[in-house]
Amino acid sequence: MSGEEVAVAQPEAAAPIIGEPMDINTALPLVVRKSRAHGGLARGLHEAAKAIEKHNAHLCVIADDCDQPDYVKLVKALCVDHNVKVLPAPSAKALGEWAGLCKIDSEGKARKVVGCSCVVVKDYGEQHEAVEVVQQHKD
């Protein structure tokens, strides 16, 4: 029985504690998910470029493992020209999951995740702690 108790205690420790201050690694996925829920997310190069050029973008998230340097250079140049903050995501699969490019199974796990190299937040939705953490984050 003590082995089962240890296995149950580990997931509880992995969950973020509500009273502690939020860091950028926990705030960024939350901001992207909330933005998606409010319809303020542009996914992919075409949608991202349109949102940035129309001055609708507040934040741009680029996957670290994007293998096309021209893609990254174009998005970063657009963001610099239009004063949009650029933040990195750990991987394209993680960014795709945050952006809703996946299927959710009956257990609540993401399945068939499609990678996404670039996401632009056009609307944060409601103001919450994660938005302020992302806005105050310096590169």
How open is the CA angle 70-55-116, to the nearest 5 degrees? 40
Q: What is the mean pLDDT of residues 3-10?
A: 39
Q: Note the pLDDT of residue 15.
A: 44
Min mean pLDDT across 13-22, 78-87, 93-102 is at 13-22
Is residue 30 scored above 60 in pLDDT?
Answer: yes
Q: Which helix (H) or strand (E) holds 60?
A: strand 59-63
Q: Note the pLDDT of residue 11.
A: 34
Q: What tokens were used for 102? A: 């996946």
The model carries a pTM of: 0.75
Give the whole-angstrom CA distance, residue 44 versus residue 86.
Answer: 15
Q: Note the pLDDT of residue 18.
A: 56
Give the whole-angstrom CA distance, residue 55 versus residue 72.
Answer: 19
Is residue 116 scored above 80 in pLDDT?
Answer: yes
Q: Note the pLDDT of residue 119.
A: 92
AA letter at 64: D
Q: Note the pLDDT of residue 138.
A: 59
What confidence category does residue 9 fall into, taking pLDDT thresholds of 50, 70 and 90? very low
Determine if residue 85 is left, alpha or beta; phi over 0 gives left, psi from -120 to 50 gives alpha, anything else beta: beta
Q: Note the pLDDT of residue 6.
A: 38
Q: What is the mean pLDDT of residues 28-54?
A: 87
Higher confidence at residue 94 or residue 136? 94
Q: Note the pLDDT of residue 2.
A: 46
